[in-house]
Structure formats: C-alpha cells, structure tokens
Structure 1
Amino acid sequence: MPALWTYPWTMAQEGLDETCKGIVERGLDEITVSSHYHSVRSLQPQFPHALFRQFPGGCHFSPDADRFDECPVTPSPVAIEGFDDPLAEITAVAHDHGLAVNAWTVCLHNTRLGTTNPEYRIESAFGDSHDHSLCPSHPAVRDYFATVVEALVDRSIDGVHLESIGFPSAFHGHGQEFGHDKRQVLTDPAEMMLLSQCFCDGCQYAAESHPIDLARARARVRDLLERALRDPTTETPSLDALIREEAVLDALFEFRASVVEAFVERLADAAGTVPMNYYVAESPGGADPKDVWSAGVRPDRLDASLDRMTAMCYVSDPTVARERVLKLKELVDCPVDAGLTLDPTIVETASELHALVDTLKDYVDGPLSFYHHGLLSETQRRWIESAIEGS
C-alpha cells in the first residue's frame, strides 16, 4: 500500500482528475494531503511556468465558522486558487479514483498561529517568546487542534496524520519575521534543548497538578545556559547525564511527556473511529525513535491513543532505515509504517530507492510513503513507479 505526500496546489496544477489518475497509474494507493500546515515556499520542478509556490501557515480546508466559535485560538484559512475547500474537494475526487486520503496535520509548529495568538506561544527560561510554535500545555491549544481534527474527519478522510506534537526547538522558525538563524554560542545539543524548554503561563498552570517544582527547574535551566552564554568553552553535560544526575530536570522532562500524552489523547478522542498516525520526528530530537523524548514525545506512552506510527527514514542506507523501524517496533505495540525521501542529497539514484523499498517492505506493517509529490522531478516519479513494481 504505497502512499504519496502532496500539496493541494500541486494537485490543482495538474487538475484533480488527471492527478489522481496519474497517481493510481504509478501504483500508489494513498495520498496524504497537507491539511493544517506551516508556512512553505516550494520549488515545483514539474511546472517551470509556476516554479515557486508560497503560502502562509494555516488550514488547507475551509474552517467551519460556527465550529470554532467557542475556540479561543482563531483558525487561519489559506486561500489556494482553484478551491473553495481544498481537502474536501480533493478527497471526493480521490475516492472516485480509489485512492485513500489522509489529512497531513502539522500541529504546534506554525508561525502564523503564533503571531495571531501570542498568548499561547512557547516561552524560554529567560522569558522570551517564540512565534513559530504554540505550547500544548494550554487547554485552548489542545481544544483548537481537537476542533481541527473534528473538522478534518467531517471531510470523509481515511486517516489523520500528525506531525509536530512535541515541544519544539527554539531554533526552528518559519515565516518572514524569523529571518536567518544567527548564533555563535549555544551550539551544543544539550544547550539548544535546554533553551527550547517552555515555561509559559500554560506550563506553570499545568505543572500545578504534576509532581514538579517548575520554578526550580526553570532556575536550573537558566543557570546551565547562563554559564554557556558567558563562556562558550563551557562543557554542558548531555541531557541523558543531566536527567540521571538531577531529579528536578528528570521531573521537567517527565512533565513534558505527560503534557504531550494528554494532547494526543485529546486528538484521538476528536478523531473518533478515523485512524490516527504520528510521524516520529521532532525538532529537537531528530527522527530516531529513541531521541524524540527531549521534545516530550515518548512513543511508548502514545501508542494507546494512536492507531499506527510512521518511522521517518530519510536516509540512503537501507540498514539505517531498517534499524529505525525496528527501534520503533521495540517501543510500541501499534503498527509501524515508514516514510522515505527522494531528496537527491540523500537518495541519488533509482537503485538506492529500490534498495530502501526492497528492505523495508519486509519490516513495515503498512504503507511506505514517498516525499514529496510536488517536489519531485519526472525522473524521480518514475523511480517510485519502478520501485513499487519491483517490490
């Protein structure tokens, strides 16, 4: 059951019927359509007359006005030429062609939401807020995304696919206001993750019902970071070492995990009987299933709420990809799928893609998903077709 990530504007560029027909002819069974997304500027090699497409973050569906009336966070619709309600229209045509449709739902990482709802942004131990992400400790944030999921389900989708459910990196911005990331200190992974810890009002309120002294944790995080800010030669212990040695920091990351766990439970309730998938990759943390804990994501504590998870195997080495899938399977009881990229800096040839597909097909429980329809050249689209035929 191979699948393809795609954007609404890519499908509109070719025409919905023609696009769905071509996807089916290449041997694909599913499409995963961006539905709630961050800002993006994408290069479309298939369309030289419209080479760049740029959109702000927001809803790639038409938010139902009355559905969000009671929601403190305001949805941001994205106008995409050729559509009134992109997800609903794509789903209807795709189903006519026998394609399943998943709603690709990027949650907390969204600069437009952060700038229009500043009271719910993440906030560092020093008190600076970051526009590029909302904090899941706020009940209003959880309510907003639960309402988004309910709206997606109403559009007859076959699955909800979650991305960016964890506490994000302070260095993962999007949008015109962020600019280039400039720094010469705090380049150590532990320091970057400590600076990415949130201590906003929502976290302070949520911490009252958890066994953590958040004020003490904040003071300890500040102390560690201030040393590094004063002297970049300071050696900060690894996060693993810090949580082993300091109970207050261990409690901080346990608190983060409980917040994310409650967030995902809320989304699962909103999805009802529609299957929910999570892409196991976070910034900070990367895509190794055993490293995303620093963003508050513990896969083993989420599988009760999720129907499946996707190991993000954006690598060229089949052994590395296989080990990533197996690591995730060690942690969770739900089915595990895999995502592959055709980024030419990673996968350079058709034979490399074939090797990845041939290896992973024996280890995954469901679809291999290919990234990404709108970013692919015609040659790379043929590689996918050939890899599917040979698998």
Structure 2
Amino acid sequence: MRHGAFAYTWDIVGDPAGAERIADLGVSTVTLQAAYHSVRATTPWHPRHRIVRADHAAAYFRLRPERWSGRLRPYPPSWGVPDEDRFGTALAALAGAGLRTEAWMVLTHSSVLGREAPDLTVTNAYGESFPHALCPAQPAVHDYALTLVREVCEQYDVPALMLEACGWLGMEHAGNHEKTSGASLSACGRALLSLCLCPACRAGLTGRGLDVEELARDVRTAVDGELQRDVRAGTSLDEALGRERAQALYAHRGQVIADLVRAVAALAGGRELLLMATDDPQVTGPDVGVDLAGFDAPVDAYVLKCWGQEEAALSQMKAAASRTATPLVANLTVLEDGHARTPVLAADLIAAGARQLRYYHAGLGSPARLASVRAAARLKEKQC
C-alpha cells in the first residue's frame, strides 16, 4: 500500500528542511509538479516566502530551447527562489530524504498559451474560445504535450508520470473572479457549453457521421433554453443530444485521449503512467472523462479524485473497482472541512478498492491537516 503526497517545487527549493518535512509525514512517494497551471499558494514553512503567485502556466524542469519547434512553447517560472531547474533541484532533495518522486504533468491547461494561440483552444458552439483549455485534438497541442513528456523523461530518472488535463477542459475555470453561478446552468448545460467544436474536433466529429452545424445549433438552443427560459436541457448529453450523437462525441474524445496516452507511453520508457480520470465520458476537466471499462491505452493506474462527500467518494471507488482491473489510486484532500476523518476515509477507500493513496497537499495544509495525513499514512493494508 503506497501512500504519497502532492507537493510543489517551491515547497522544497530554497528550504533545506522541506524534503525532510514531507518525509516526516510518513509517505513514501511525492507527486511533484513538473508542468503546471497558474496558481496562488501559501508556503507556511518556507524560510524565504509565505505566498507564491504563479501568474501563468510554466515548466519547472530545465528548458532546452532547441527541443521546442512548434507554435506552443512553455514558459519558465519567474516566482519563488530563482533556479533554472527547480524540478531537478527538488527531485534531488526528495531523493536525499529517501522519497520516491513521480512527475506531475499538466498537459492541456495553460491560459498564457491559449491566449497566444486561440485557434488551438477549446471552442464552444457559440464560437467562443476558452483560453485556459488547449484542445488535445489539435495536432500542435498533441505535439506540445508529448514534448513536455519527452523532456521530463530524457532529463530525469523518475519512476512514474501522473497525467493531469490529458484531455478536454471545459467551461469551468477558477482563474478569474467567477460570475457564472447565477445563470443556474445545470450539469448537463455546462457539459453542452463545454463541448469543443474547434476545427480539429469538427473534423473528428464529421468523420463519425455527425452534422456539426446541426449539432452546434442544437447545443445553442439547449443552452439558451436554460439561460433564458429555465428549460432544463436534460440530465445528460445522451438525453440532450440523443444517444447516437452523444456516443459519437464520446468516441471522438476517447480516441483522442487514448492516442495521446499511447504516445506518452511510447516516450515513457517503462515508467508507470497514472492517469487522473473519472468514469464518465461526459466529464471535461483536469480528470479526463473516459469509459474505464473500455479505455484502450496502456495505463498503470487510474487516479480518482475522492474529494467532497465521503459517501460519493466511496461509491465512485466501488463502482470503478467493479468496472476495471486496472489499479485505482485514491486522491484525498486534507484542505476541506472534515480533514480529521482522513484516516477513516483512507481505510474505507482501500476497502472499496483503492490500491494506493495520494494526499493533497503537503505544502498547502495547516499543521492539523498535515497531522491527518501523518495518521492516515500509518495505515497498513492489513488494517484496512
């Protein structure tokens, strides 16, 4: 039973005690960000800063300009303690503390690149671009994601890659002051507004027999029905679009995601691939929506986000365990209320089918929240 914790490079770089502090939690593995989106984070223990504001998505590994030939090129970070190879520096410190490190790769979430190349982003049925969401069906985005992976695999001896945002992101985005809740869009309405109809997705959907112009009109009609007349679009895309069209959409998404994961696996050199996912092909977001029972790509484990209500987390884990033989990793957060129950939830998730656990987040938690990680990490498989 492997217990691990998420961490940022700035939790470790410039702090001689940072790696040992994480080791003291009792975890054996650290999921360390190598490529990551913008964020504002507290650093309670760091000797040189208390708040880190990462203003844009960045690559935290050593950037070799000659390796980037496409339109999309990652930016280096300009925040925190200066270091041109923050991932490598943190990796060495974690290894010195006896910790195994897996590279945390966020592939398609970058507002800075999306603003520079709006034609490569998710584009909804109204023709509106989501700058935070690079579309994985675009060849340039596919190549960009693979170059991120290739550069990490060539430069660092890490045993595993954790893939986040390996598919489509949708309308949900916390990067701005959010003013969308008052429109009362249903989950189905948000899924409709998140459906990508960029040129690459239009081609893919047309190849599956869909009339894309008709689809776009129907999406706009359904969304406007919710926004302007309080008429619910349906409980799912199957209901809103019709099962045949919804299944064609899911097949398109599943194929693009699987192609990307297979290409990553070819570059990974035998490293474990952990895919942040959810067993619902309607879902867009950092955890890709796929059919766990039929996903056709070489994944070593699925990472399921077990945040929020405990009952929902356990039901999700049990359902996933019943549908796939691929090992499941439970992603637990100690940043929410109720963190004191983390050891109980961890034990219940193991009983429900989780083979490993990752705790979010070693750098963001208060002393009491980190104490709950320490207590959970003491659990042995026989106790669960």
Query: TM-score, with normalisation over the residues of structure 2?
Result: 0.88
Shift of 1:303: 5.8
Partner of 2:303: 310
Partner of 1:59: 59
The answer on 1:259 being equivalent to 2:256 is yes
Shift of 1:23: 2.5
Deviations 1:201-231 (Å, cap 9, x if unpaired)? 1212333543333233222212222333442
Distance 1:206 1:246, change over 3 A: closer
CA distance in 2, matches of 1:43, 1:369: 20
CA distance in 1, matches of 2:133, 2:84: 27
Shift of 1:292: 4.7
The answer on 1:337 being equivalent to 2:326 is no
SS in 2 for 1:299: coil
Letter in 1 for 2:264: L
Is the 1:315–1:340 contact (alpha carbons within 8 Å) kept by the matching residues of 2?
no
Partner of 1:202: 200
Shift of 1:13: 4.7
Partner of 2:166: 165
Partner of 1:386: 375
Letter in 2 for 1:156: D
CA distance in 1, matches of 2:66, 2:293: 36
Question: Which among 299, 313, 316 is matched to residue 292 of structure 2?
Answer: 299
CA distance in 2, matches of 1:63, 1:101: 20
Deviations 1:79-122 (Å, cap 9, x if unpaired)? 34242211122222322332111111112222122112222011
Distance 1:103 1:363, change over 3 A: same
Shift of 1:380: 2.2
Is the 1:121–1:134 contact (alpha carbons within 8 Å) kept by the matching residues of 2?
yes
Query: TM-score, with normalisation over the residues of structure 1?
Result: 0.87
Distance 1:221 1:321, change over 3 A: closer
194-203 vs 50-59, greater mean Cα deviation:
50-59
The answer on 1:100 being equivalent to 2:100 is yes
Letter in 2 for 1:309: Y
Is the 2:4–2:29 contact (alpha carbons within 8 Å) kept by the matching residues of 1?
yes
Is the 2:222–2:240 contact (alpha carbons within 8 Å) kept by the matching residues of 1?
no
1:92-131 to structure 2, matched below 5 A, reads 92-131=92-131
CA distance in 1, matches of 2:83, 2:334: 28
Shift of 1:49: 7.2
Partner of 2:358: 369
CA distance in 1, matches of 2:296, 2:45: 38
Partner of 1:215: 213
1:239-250 to structure 2, matched below 5 A, reads 239-242=236-239, 245-250=242-247
Partner of 1:88: 88
CA distance in 2, matches of 1:133, 1:353: 32
Distance 1:136 1:227, change over 3 A: same
Is the 1:217–1:252 contact (alpha carbons within 8 Å) kept by the matching residues of 2?
no
Shift of 1:322: 3.1
Is the 2:301–2:327 contact (alpha carbons within 8 Å) kept by the matching residues of 1?
yes
The answer on 1:11 being equivalent to 2:4 is no
1:178-197 to structure 2, matched below 5 A, reads 178-182=176-180, 184-185=182-183, 187-197=185-195
Letter in 2 for 1:220: D
Partner of 2:318: 326
Partner of 2:234: 237
CA distance in 2, matches of 1:324, 1:90: 34
Aligned residue-pair number: 372
Shift of 1:134: 0.5
Is the 2:205–2:249 contact (alpha carbons within 8 Å) kept by the matching residues of 1?
no
355-364 vs 261-270, greater mean Cα deviation:
355-364
Deviations 1:173-219 (Å, cap 9, x if unpaired)? 52xxx443246435111111111111111212333543333233222
CA distance in 2, matches of 1:156, 1:353: 31
CA distance in 1, matches of 2:174, 2:110: 9
Distance 1:273 1:48, change over 3 A: closer
Distance 1:184 1:376, change over 3 A: closer
Distance 1:221 1:316, change over 3 A: closer
Distance 1:40 1:291, change over 3 A: same
CA distance in 1, matches of 2:86, 2:96: 16
Give the RMSD, CA atoms, in angstroms. 2.4
Percent identity between matched residues is 23
Is the 1:31–1:99 contact (alpha carbons within 8 Å) kept by the matching residues of 2?
yes
Partner of 2:34: 35
Distance 1:19 1:366, change over 3 A: farther
Shift of 1:64: 1.7
Partner of 1:75: 74
Letter in 2 for 1:254: A
Distance 1:333 1:72, change over 3 A: farther
CA distance in 2, matches of 1:188, 1:149: 36
Letter in 2 for 1:38: H
Letter in 2 for 1:200: C
CA distance in 1, matches of 2:189, 2:354: 37
Is the 1:57–1:111 contact (alpha carbons within 8 Å) kept by the matching residues of 2?
yes
Distance 1:236 1:101, change over 3 A: same
